[in-house]
Structure formats: structure tokens, C-alpha cells
Amino acid sequence: MVVTTHRPLPKVLSDIQQEMEQHALDYGLDFFKTIFEVLDYEELSMFAAYGGFPVRYPHWRFGAQYDELMKGYSYGLQKIYEMVINTDPCYAYLLSCNDITDQKLVIAHVYGHCDFFKNNAWFSHTNRKMLDQMANHATRVNQHIDTFGYETVEMFIDTCLSLESLIDPYLPHIRRTKKSESRADAKKRSDAEGDNAGGRFPAKVYMDRYINPEDILEEEADQKRIKAQEMADQLKFPKERLRDVLHFLIQYAPLEDWQRDVLSIIRDEAYYFAPQGQTKIMNEGWASFWHSTIMTKHGLTDQGLINYADHHSGTMATSPNRLNPYKLGIELLKDIEERWNKGQFGPEYENCTDMFEKEHWDKDTGLGREKIFEVRRIHNDITFIDTFLTPEFCYKNQMFSFGFNDSNKTYEIQSREFQQIKQQLLSSLSNHGRPAIYVQDGNYKNRGELYLEHDYLGVELKLDYAQDTLVNLHNIWKRPVNIETVIDDRPTILSYDGKNHSTNSKEKK
């Protein structure tokens, strides 16, 4: 089996690579060793279909993705120029038929990504040896296939993939709960403590006052009540609602060992890819910032100018109904650099009411470069937009928010007001555009049913998909499954009991 397509870079390219690498280092970019490989489009599509990894477990969806990429390319609709994967060392794939200016641009762009992968806080918990990890996953899945048959495993993978988005993207960064003791341990502990605490000692009536003092008895009764409450809490399961639905299922769903293994593979991989979704705007913006800086300051030759301009403007193209993360990212970074260079920040600037003065504000602070390096270290898309989007920026970039008009089924421009644009942008970025879903109860109605809760923030679930997903969830949980959401402004519970779907509005408490 061909694992690597590795072949040494041709001299022309390795010269360019060294040149670009030096420029990147001179600007203070900091990256893992980066290994470039040149691929033809078929190979590049293959890598892209596999998410950048040469060895993945077998699954038709990779084939579907590949098919789509190859067709899109052969019809001239789309083209991938490069791929970078977040590992140490960093692997980057270049398309062999790229023109030399394109290669320069792309290599500079890649160094931007590599620096971001290494330094951005949201990537700090990703496995940098994911190449090996993915290959191990493939081996494990293949073993299961050998034992249980291709179709059985494939069907189960389909089921797991349907739920792959149900993870807690912040989990690697926070410890949400104390390391919880298992229920068995808790029971053992309470058994050991026994129920002998509290209660009266036998005593003659005249001695009772001394042997069983009133205040102590009261205290003990209190403790007993607290303990009973604790016991009740233990019955509630999970104790507090959980974002990491997959983990909950791995722990508690009645799965066979191989199934549990497959599910945890899917979960691992979902966590690996999560930061890339959380930092799309920043990551692409940062890489574009550096390719444009390096190319325009150093890399461009006279004959490459038109090609560069064409490629760069193609990447930055905007359209009314889709936000281009490259464009937004690079513009916002440039804006930050300029503001911090001119000192347009802090209370003095914020409180200035003279528009003219504000516009021509220049304290020559020169902190811009330093600031954007800090931004790339600590922010993700949401905090990035939340902190740095300004009304002036929205105006300058002709931004607007749009919404779906249910009455005529079209998307319409809703507002050009800063607050609304920002609100809309943030909400469409939260959980990178996916609904946030929690496990509320694993023993719903005391019948072992699963009860999930959708945090409704104004956008409804796609109903048919939700029902299909419930079917898959039921395949894993094996007992009826429910999800609470909002349909037509009414809290509603969607349920699936293994045979039938039902939709009930939730009774008011």
C-alpha cells in the first residue's frame, strides 16, 4: 500500500522554499519543521478527501469527497492549491501544476498556517503526532472489519459519524467537573459509612437527656437529610448536563467493545479537527496576511505580478451571501495592525467624540506588529470578532447581516447596523454554526431513556435531519431517545422509540 508519495522537491521549488522560510523567520514567524511535497491533482484530492492524512480507516465518505473534488476540478469549478496538516513536523502538499508565482505564494501562505498551528492557544492541546494516531485508528478499524465484516462496521461508522458533532469544543481547555467517582465507588463508600450515624442510643428515661442530647440529635438529622439529598443527586444522571454527548455514550451506552472502540476513534478525530473550525477566519486571515506581506515586499518578480494579483484577488473575492473567511481575517488583522500602530485604542481614543480627530488619530505608537502576534496567540474566531470588530471596520468593508424570510423563502439583507452585524456574526460562529446540544438526563422518566437538550438561540433545527439523527442515536442508546428543542416558538420534544417518531410540545412547568 502506498503510504507516502514522498519525492524530493525539485531544485527550483526547494530554492523558493528556503527563500520563503528565511523571510518568514525574519518576520518572527515560529513554526515546526515543515516538509513540502509536490503532488498531482489526483493525489492532492486524495489527501484532501482524507483530511490531509495519508492513512485513514476505510469509509465511503472519503470516496465521495474525492469524487466531488475530482469532478469539480475536471469541470473547472474549483481547484485546491495546497494543504497543510497540523502535525510536528508540519506536512504541506503543493499542487505540481501550480505556476511558479503560485508556488511562492502558496509556500508563504503555508508558513503562516504552520506558525498559527504551533502558536495559537486553541491548537495547544491537539495531538501533533496525529499522522501516527490516524494510522493506528485505521489499523484498529481494519481489525474490527476483519472480525465483524465490512458492512457491519461501515454501518456502525455511519451511525457514529452522524453524531460526531456532539462534542464539547472547549473540553481540552477546561476541567468541567471534578473527577467524578463512579457510581459503584460511591455506593461502596456510603455502605462503608453505614447508616448507623444518627438515632438514639438506648437509655433509661432519666438518663436520656444526657446520653442523647437534643442539639446533637438535631445536627445528625440535618446531616442525614443532606446525605439523602446527595443520594438523590446520585440517582439523577448525569449530575449536571453534559456537552460531550459522545463521551457520555461511550461511558454508558450498551455497546460492544469494538463499537465502543470505533465510537471513541470518531470522537478523537472530531476533537482533533475541532480547533480548525474554531479558528477558520483567524487561521486563513493570518496565512493570507503573511503571503501578501512576504510576496509584495520580497517574493514578487515583474513577470509574476499579474499572476499574483489574479490569484490573490480570487482568494479574497467576496459574495453577498457567503462570508469569505480569508477576506475578513486579513482585513481585520490589517485593521488591528493599523490601529495599534496609530494608537487608536484605549479609553482616550474610545471616549473621543470628535469624529474628525478620531479619523486622523495617530499617536505613532507602532505597536501593530506586536499586537497581531499577540492576537494570533490567544484568540479564536469568536473572541477575535468580539474584541476587534469595530463600526468603522464594518462600514469600510460594506458588511451587512442577512436573514431568512420564511414568508417568501429568500435570504434578505436585514441590517447594516454594527450591533446587529456583530450579533449575527457571533451567533453564526458559535459552535461553528452547529447547534449546541447537551445530555440532560440519561434516565429520563426513570425508564432509561436518553434526554438531550438543544440550546435554542433563535435558529431551528432542520427537522428531517434531526429525526434521522435520532434514529442513529437510538441505534447506540438502544432505548427511546428524546431531544428538547424549539419549533415555531414552542418548546418541543422530538422523540424516537425505535419504531416511531413523535413530536410533543413540552408541558409548561
Site for another protein in 393-412 (CB under 8 A): 397-406, 408-412
Closer to another protein at the Cβ: 435 or 442? 435
Instruction: State the sign of the Cα–Cα–Cα–Cα dihedral 491, 494, 497, 499.
Output: positive
Beta strands 449-454 and 501-505, pairing class: unpaired
**Residue with C-alpha cell 476541567?**
175
Exactly one of 16, 29, 249, 425 binds another protein (CB under 8 A); that residue is: 425
| Residue 415 binds to another protein (criterion: CB under 8 A) | yes
162 neighbors 469 (Cβ within 8 angstroms): yes
Closer to another protein at the Cβ: 93 or 111? 93
Instruction: State the sign of the Cα–Cα–Cα–Cα dihedral 261, 262, 263, 264.
Output: positive
Q: How far is the CB of 408 from another protein (least distance, A)?
A: 8
Q: How far is the CB of 41 from another protein (least distance, A)?
A: 13
Q: How far is the CB of 287 from another protein (least distance, A)?
A: 20
Exactly one of 1, 174, 184, 192 binds another protein (CB under 8 A); that residue is: 1
x/- track of binding to another protein for residues 113-152 (CB under 8 A): ----------------------------------------
Distance CA 240, CA 223 (A): 23
Q: How far is the CB of 175 from another protein (least distance, A)?
A: 26
Scored b (16 or more CB within 10 A) or e, 142-166 reads eebbeeeeeeebbebbebbebbbbb
470 neighbors 496 (Cβ within 8 angstroms): yes
Closer to another protein at the Cβ: 33 or 322? 322
The residue length of the chain stands at 509
The region, left, alpha or beta by phi > 0 then psi within -120 to 50, assigned to residue 180 is: beta
Exactly one of 284, 483, 484, 496 binds another protein (CB under 8 A); that residue is: 483
x/- track of binding to another protein for residues 172-201 (CB under 8 A): ------------------------------
Distance CA 361, CA 418 (A): 21
Q: How far is the CB of 169 from another protein (least distance, A)?
A: 15
**Residue with C-alpha cell 505556476?**
99
Q: How far is the CB of 302 from another protein (least distance, A)?
A: 28
x/- track of binding to another protein for residues 5-24 (CB under 8 A): --------------------
Residue type, 108: A
Tell me the DSSP string of 42-92: HHHHHHHHTTT-S-----HHHHHHHHHHHHHHHTTS----EEEE-SSSEEE
428 grid coordinates: 453564526
Q: Please, what is the end-to-end C-alpha distance for the chain in angstroms? A: 60
Return the closest-CA partner of residue 473 out of 444, 505, 446.
444
Closer to another protein at the Cβ: 19 or 68? 68
Q: How far is the CB of 102 from another protein (least distance, A)?
A: 24
Name residues contacting another protein, limited to 53-92 (CB under 8 A). Answer: 55-56, 58-64, 66-68
Exactly one of 162, 278, 283, 380 binds another protein (CB under 8 A); that residue is: 162
Name residues contacting another protein, limited to 280-319 (CB under 8 A). Answer: 318-319
Exactly one of 377, 434, 478, 506 binds another protein (CB under 8 A); that residue is: 434
Closer to another protein at the Cβ: 285 or 299? 285
Distance CA 454, CA 464 (A): 15
Closer to another protein at the Cβ: 407 or 446? 407
Closer to another protein at the Cβ: 425 or 493? 425
Name residues contacting another protein, limited to 444-473 (CB under 8 A). Answer: 454, 458-466, 468-469, 472
**Residue with C-alpha cell 437527656?**
209
226, burial (CB in 10 Å: exposed 0-12, middle 13-18, buried 19+): exposed
Residues 6+ apart with CB under 8 A from 132: none
Closer to another protein at the Cβ: 353 or 408? 408
Total of chain residues touching another protein, rule CB under 8 A: 74
**H or E stretch at 256:** none
